[in-house]
Amino acid sequence: MHKTSQIVEASWLGRPSPQVAPELVGCCLVRLLPNGQLIKGLIVETEAYAPGDPACHAYRRRTARNAVMFGPPGFTYIYLIYGRYCCLNLVTDQDQVPSAVLIRALELEVFPESLGYPPPPALQRIAAGPGKLCQALKIDRSLSGQALQPDTGLWLEHRRDQFHQTLKQQTQLLVQTTRIGLSVGENLPWRWYLRTSPAVSRP
């Protein structure tokens, strides 16, 4: 018999984002489309954004756009970047502490044939980058502020035991480095990725 995947509860995200972000690597992001199609991928790259961090969208003050980051954990924060792409963040830490984790890349594991994704090796880079990830999972700003749970069509599953075993054996597997694309706060080492994954946006 096999163990069912455990859904991540909001309380698990209720910790500082630099603590949650590395632990999200290895978890699965699951998307259930309105038409019933299921897309699922292993998170292979994340970045943390936290209070006092000049690169955080909530650094200056609360606005209509970033308001959800000030709320309780377990919700999505999705914004439009460069007028073209959406980026998915998961709100972390306790209520009133504005912080989030940017999900930057996935290794797709489950997806419908009918979506027309290319064959490997191109398939492995379909969700390599925050904008491409949202494209692949059909995530846009209409999902921003939603709870991460099955009835919203977007949720998280905990790491499988096998992943923990691998992490234990391969000690250099999880790489910590600086974040990408910033003009401020670029020195903070708040990006994590799986060294061996072909889906990482920028190894």
Residue 56 binds DNA (CB under 7 A) = yes
Residue 194 binds DNA (CB under 7 A) = no
Residue 188 binds DNA (CB under 7 A) = no
Phi, psi of 2 (to 5 degrees): -120, 150
Strands 85-91 and 174-177: unpaired
- Applying the rule CB under 7 A, the residues between 8 and 37 that interact with DNA are none
Q: Near DNA by CB under 7 A, which window of 155-163, 165-173, 174-182, 189-197?
A: 174-182
Cβ at position 43, least distance to DNA in Å: 14
Evaluated on CA atoms 41, 190, 161, 167, the torsion sign reads: positive
- 86-110 burial string, b = 16+ CB within 10 Å, else e? bbbbbbbbeeebbbbbbbbbbbbee
Residue 49 binds DNA (CB under 7 A) = yes
- Applying the rule CB under 7 A, the residues between 119 and 138 that interact with DNA are 129-133
Residue 187 binds DNA (CB under 7 A) = no
Strands 191-194 and 28-32: unpaired
Interacting residue with DNA among 112, 118, 150, 181 (CB under 7 A): 181
Residue 191 binds DNA (CB under 7 A) = no
Task: Identify the CA nearest to 137 among candidates 113, 159, 119, 115.
Answer: 115
Contact assessment for residue 124 and residue 75, using Cβ atoms and an 8 Å cutoff: no
Cβ at position 182, least distance to DNA in Å: 5
In three-state secondary structure terms, 46 is strand
Interacting residue with DNA among 12, 25, 30, 89 (CB under 7 A): 89
Count of chain residues binding DNA (CB under 7 A): 35
Interacting residue with DNA among 84, 113, 116, 151 (CB under 7 A): 84
Task: Identify the CA nearest to 142 among candidates 91, 81, 67, 80.
Answer: 80
Nearer to DNA, 49 or 155 (CB): 49
Residue in the block written with tokens 């961090």: 53
Positions in the binding site for DNA (CB under 7 A): 47, 49, 55-58, 60-61, 63-66, 77, 79-85, 87, 89, 100, 102, 129-133, 179-183, 201
